[in-house]
Copies of this chain bind each other. A is one copy, B any other.
Amino acid sequence: MGFLSWMIPQEKHFFDMIEKQSKNVVVGVDALVDMLEHYTDLDQKREKIKRIENEGDRMVHDIFSELNKTFITPIDREDISSLTSSLDDILDYVEGVAERLVLYKIKKPPIYMLEFARTLQRATMNVNHGISLLRNFKEAAHIRNFCKEVNTLENEGDMLLRKATAELFETKDAVEIIKVKELYDNMESAIDRCEDVADVIGDILVKYT
């Protein structure tokens, strides 16, 4: 077995691990969209999202362990670490939202929550498409399209937050504002992290193509 064939499995390994993590993020976001669309059995749905997030934590842990043990990585060590950390943040925000829906006894999802969640869903799907093609730099043009779509969705999330926050403050109900503001801010932060992932992917393409 030559030097290169010994290296290649390693290489595939990292792409596999990040892709697995990215798919898990999509699963978590889908669970949140479902929770908001069918707003019943909140405790179980929150528990489900918690389990997905725990699963994600284990994946992050495995990727960092692997990084520690591996001398040569297929893409820059810092890029793997940034991708993994931002993907992890997305799921943390999603779990934080699910927990607050229960904790704050939110009777009905605030008016813009589903729109936020669907924007996040589209952003994570595009992120996931980009990541799944990342092992094949010939797909650079394709990958860039997914990244561009994430940027567009991040802008939409930004405008949505502005509209939603302005309307929220019109209600003058301070307790409601405290609760709902945290939900909206967390949704927008989750979408922001998708853009961070897209930015790292963009940097990787610049370096390797």
Give the docked Cα–Cα distance between A99 and B162 (Å).
Answer: 9
A1 is an interface residue with CB less than 8 A from chain B: no
Stretch at the interface among A12-20, A34-42, A177-185: A177-185
Residues of B within 8 A of A165 (CB): 103-104
- Residues of chain A in range 51-77 having any CB-CB distance to chain B below 8 Å: 65, 68, 76
Give the docked Cα–Cα distance between A99 and B104 (Å).
Answer: 26
Q: Closest residue of chain B to A206, judged by CB?
A: B65
A108 is an interface residue with CB less than 8 A from chain B: no
Give the docked Cα–Cα distance between A78 and B169 (Å).
Answer: 42
Q: Is the CB of A175 within 8 A of B177?
A: yes
Chain A, interface residues (CB within 8 Å), range:
20 to 34
A207 is an interface residue with CB less than 8 A from chain B: yes
A107 is an interface residue with CB less than 8 A from chain B: no
- Residues of chain A in range 151-209 having any CB-CB distance to chain B below 8 Å: 162, 165-166, 169, 172, 174-175, 177-179, 181, 203, 206-207
Q: Is the CB of A105 within 8 A of B65?
A: no
Partner of A103, one of B65, B99, B166: B166
Q: Is the CB of B169 within 8 A of A104?
A: yes
Give the docked Cα–Cα distance between A173 and B206 (Å).
Answer: 51
Q: Is the CB of B169 within 8 A of A172?
A: no
Residues of B within 8 A of A104 (CB): 165-166, 169
Q: Is the CB of A175 within 8 A of B179?
A: no
Interface centre among A78, A165, A175 (most CB of B within 10 A): A175
Q: Which residues of A contact B (CB under 8 A)?
A: 65, 68, 76, 78, 99, 103-105, 162, 165-166, 169, 172, 174-175, 177-179, 181, 203, 206-207
13 contacts between A and B (CB under 8 A): A65-B206, A68-B78, A68-B203, A68-B207, A104-B165, A104-B166, A105-B166, A105-B169, A169-B179, A174-B175, A174-B178, A178-B178, A178-B181
